[in-house]
Structure formats: structure tokens, C-alpha cells
Amino acid sequence: MQKDFLGSKSRSNTFAYIVGDNIYLNITNRCTNDCTFCLRNNGDAAYGSNPLWLEHEPTADEVLIQVKDIFFDNCQSFVFCGYGEPTCRFQTLIKTAKQLKNKYPNIPIRLNTNGQSELINSIEYTSQLFGLIDSVSISMNSSNEDDYDELCRPVFGKKAFSAMIEFGKRCVGNIPTVQFSVVEETLSEENIAKCREITDKIGAKLRIRKFISENDKNPE
Ligand code: SF4
């Protein structure tokens, strides 16, 4: 069901890599979306990393080994992001986050997600994130299911949009920072304003980000 991009791409076993002051974690290449603007459509890497197409999906222990290898003193956060949707590997995500919290208790953990975990897994899984994940960034991408479907081409069809919004609602109040994001170049001002109405109502932040190309060195 989930799109697997493994094919003739350059691959490596890059499970952890540095982006700015953060360590990003790459635990899968699977995703339930096929976004028109996805960085993966035109590249093999992100922010100057090694190829992020994986030779195999890592265990939590394999991620921790690479984190220890590249860890630096002023590291600001761990970010589950990479070249796929982290909640496609929910139990590895949870196990890795627990090990990171155990070894680096003062460093916050962020989850970047398409918000479809409750379709990929189940609603009950969401609560496993609480008390473990400090910040969640949900790719909102549009204010309505039709535009979302066109931009993100989810395998779940039009129910993906409302599932993503409901996931965000459940996170608010249970995860310290909940942020939705949209890509500025893909939406009209009117659509962005409607996104803001939705996130204000939910009590979450809205981040309007720029389109990311393979040559960008920092996500901000
Ligand atoms: S949700 Fe993220 S990883 Fe998945 S296709 Fe969209 S931009 Fe790419």
C-alpha cells in the first residue's frame, strides 16, 4: 500500500545526519503520500547529506550507533524526518525515541510527519508519542481535501486530509509544540489564510515554508 521508491537510486545506510544544529534521523523510505513537490522526486539527498535512499531500514540500535558517531556538543534537537514517513515504522520510531531520551535527556525530539499515522497504524498509537516527542511538525499542505489530494496524492485518497487534521488535534495539549506546515510556492494566499483559520481553531502553529531543493543547506 505504501509507495516504496527503492529502484535505481543511489543508496546508502545513512540513518543519522547533521542539518544545521540538529541531528536528523532517516528510518524509512516508505511514505503514504507522493507529493508533487517532494524533494525525493529530483534527488538522492537533503541539505548536503549522503544519499538518503536506504539499503535497509535500520533498527533503533543501528540509529543510535550513528547518532553517537556524529553527536556534537551544541546539538539542539533530534528530528525524525529523512526520506520517508517515520510513522510507517511506528514501533522503531518509539523505540529509537526512548533510547535517545535515555541517553540524551536534555535534547528535544521532533517528529516531522504527514499526519497519516492513524490511517497507517491506529488512533491508539498516537498516545505513545505523548511524553516522548517534544514537538511535532505536520505537513498540512492545503486547507481542503481536494487540493490536498491533488498536491499530495495520498494512497488513502481524500480521507487522508481529515485524518491528518484529527491527528494534529489529538496532539495539541499532549505534545508541547504542535505545528502544521504549508509550502508557500504551492498555495494561493487565500488557501494559506484558510489553513491559518484551521490551525488557529485547533490551537496549533502554522509554518509557511519555502520549497526545498536538493541544493539547500538548511531547512529554515
Ligand atoms: S509526505 Fe513528505 S516524504 Fe512523503 S511524499 Fe510528501 S514530501 Fe515526500
Among protein residues, the one with the nearest Cα to ligand 1's atom 7 is 38
Note the pLDDT of residue 10.
87
Position 109 in a domain: yes
Cβ 30 under 6 angstroms from ligand 1: no
> According to the model, what pLDDT value does residue 218 have?
56
Best mutation site among 1, 27, 114, 136 for ligand 1 pocket (most ligand atoms within 8 Å of CB): 114
Q: CATH number for the domain including 148?
A: 3.20.20.70
In a domain, 217, yes or no: no
Please report the atom of ligand 1 found closest to the CA of residue 31. Answer: 4
The total of structural domains in the chain comes to: 1
pLDDT of residue 2: 47
pLDDT at 125: 97
d(CA 218, CA 220): 6
Q: How far is CA 152 from CA 56, 158, 219, in A?
A: 25, 10, 20
pLDDT value, residue 1: 41
Model pLDDT, residue 215:
58
User: Is 215 inside any structural domain?
Assistant: no
pLDDT under 70: residue ranges of the chain: 1-8, 212-220
The whole-number pLDDT of residue 174 equals 98
pLDDT score of 206: 97
Helix (DSSP H) and strand (DSSP E) numbers for the chain: 7, 11
Structure confidence at residue 96 (pLDDT): 98
Alpha helix locations (H) across 129-188? 145-152, 159-171
Gyration radius (Cα) of the chain, Å: 16
Distance CA 54, CA 57 (A): 6
Residue 22's domain comprises: 3-209
Cα–ligand 1 centroid distance for 204 (angstroms): 21
